[in-house]
């Protein structure tokens, strides 16, 4: 199985699993991975199905391996990995990886969870113009539900890197961006119409692990107002839930200038929460 290569890497009480989001691969975690390792963590970066390996290969094979990939398949992929680790890690996810993180800790995995600019589970209804505009490249064509859909550079610049210069954003786009499953976007946007949506979580779950939701003030794809609404949904749970907003940050909060501060904040939260 694909997950077997990660099992031996687990280190007791100091393991982090990073889960990337849509239009990215595990390579996008390279800066976070290096800094967390410098802080003494063992860091796992397993990709979504079809997202592992060389970025050029992923781009070339996206229509075959990624098209029509559903969120439940992604979630089950990470469940298989987590079930076979000797020690449960802190799970940290970005964007749709942050949504996957919330589902996983609701299902009993992880000693803690962190969502960076996390896509919201079913039941969070705060929508903004920026969020809809960022999703429009996928939602504009119903047939995209069963395709691997790429973002143009202009769309990426608006949705992910709106505070970056064009040159800096282009370097990020060329290094990390891939076409990705349109199905996951449709499942998330229209999840209220399905009682069995893969985005379901029990907001009143008192037994789940601690959760930290981090927002970027200037994020267009998952605006801070959405993340705050996501946080507020957990108000009736006795389980620890924290929220923090970084000023002037975008959807690339883990790659843009000042990303080190985000790692250090998470590290301190982990220390304070799990001591």
- Where along the chain do its domains lie? 4-274
pLDDT of residue 190: 57
Among 69-78, 140-149, 192-201, where is mean pLDDT lowest? 140-149
- Give dist(CA 45, CA 136) in Å, integer: 29
Quick check: 13 pLDDT over 80? no
State how far the alpha carbon of 84 is from the alpha carbons of 43, 55, 102, 230, in Å.
Answer: 16, 27, 19, 30
Alpha helices (H) along 140-236: 153-159, 166-176, 182-189, 224-232
Phi, psi of 110 (to 5 degrees): 80, 145
Going by DSSP bridges, is the β-strand pair 148-149/42-44 parallel, antiparallel, or unpaired? unpaired
Per-residue pLDDT tens digits for 131-169: 555 555 655 555 656 688 889 999 999 999 999 999 999
- Locate 135 and state its tokens: 């999703």
Superfamily for the 4-274 domain: Alpha/Beta hydrolase fold, catalytic domain (3.40.50.1820)
Quick check: 2 pLDDT over 50? no
Quick check: 273 pLDDT over 50? yes
Mean pLDDT for 209-223 is 96
Helix (H, G, I), strand (E, B) or coil at 16: strand
Q: Which residue has the tokens 């992910």?
A: 160
Rounded to two decimals, the pTM is 0.90
Q: Which residue has the tokens 């559903």?
A: 70
Provide the pLDDT confidence category of residue 231 given band limits of 50, 70 and 90. Answer: very high
Whether the CB-CB separation of 78 and 103 falls below 8 Å is answered with no
Report the sign of the C-alpha dihedral through residues 264, 269, 272, 273, in that order: negative
Per-residue pLDDT tens digits for 102-112: 999 999 999 99
Mean pLDDT for 14-42 is 97
Provide the pLDDT confidence category of residue 95 given band limits of 50, 70 and 90. Answer: very high
Among 71-75, 136-140, 231-235, where is mean pLDDT lowest? 136-140
């Amino acid at each position: 199985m694909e997950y077997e290569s990660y099992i031996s890497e687990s280190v007791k009480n100091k393991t982090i699993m990073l889960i990337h989001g849509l239009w990215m691969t595990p390579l996008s975690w390279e800066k976070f991975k290096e800094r967390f390792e410098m802080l003494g963590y063992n860091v796992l970066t397993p990709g979504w199905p079809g997202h592992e390996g060389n970025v050029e290969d992923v781009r070339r094979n996206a229509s075959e391996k990624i098209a029509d990939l559903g969120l439940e398949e992604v979630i089950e992929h990470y469940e298989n990995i987590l079930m076979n680790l000797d020690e449960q890690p802190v799970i940290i996810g970005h964007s749709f990886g942050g949504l996957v993180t919330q589902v996983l800790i609701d299902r009993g995995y992880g000693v803690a969870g962190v969502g960076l600019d996390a896509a919201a589970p079913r039941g969070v209804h705060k929508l903004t113009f920026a969020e809809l505009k960022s999703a429009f490249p996928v939602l504009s064509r119903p047939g995209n539900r069963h395709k691997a859909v790429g973002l143009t550079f202009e769309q990426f610049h608006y949705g992910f890197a709106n505070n970056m210069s064009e040159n800096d954003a282009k370097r990020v786009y060329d290094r990390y961006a891939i076409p990705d499953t349109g199905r996951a976007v449709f499942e998330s946007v229209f999840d209220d119409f399905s009682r069995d949506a893969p985005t379901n979580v029990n907001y009143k779950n008192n037994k789940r692990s601690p959760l930290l939701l981090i927002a970027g003030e200037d994020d267009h794809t998952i605006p801070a107002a959405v993340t705050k609404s996501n946080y507020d949904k957990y108000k009736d749970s006795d389980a620890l839930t924290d929220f923090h907003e970084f000023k002037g940050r975008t959807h690339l909060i883990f790659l843009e200038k000042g990303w080190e501060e985000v790692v250090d904040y998470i590290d301190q939260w982990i220390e304070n929460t799990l001591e």
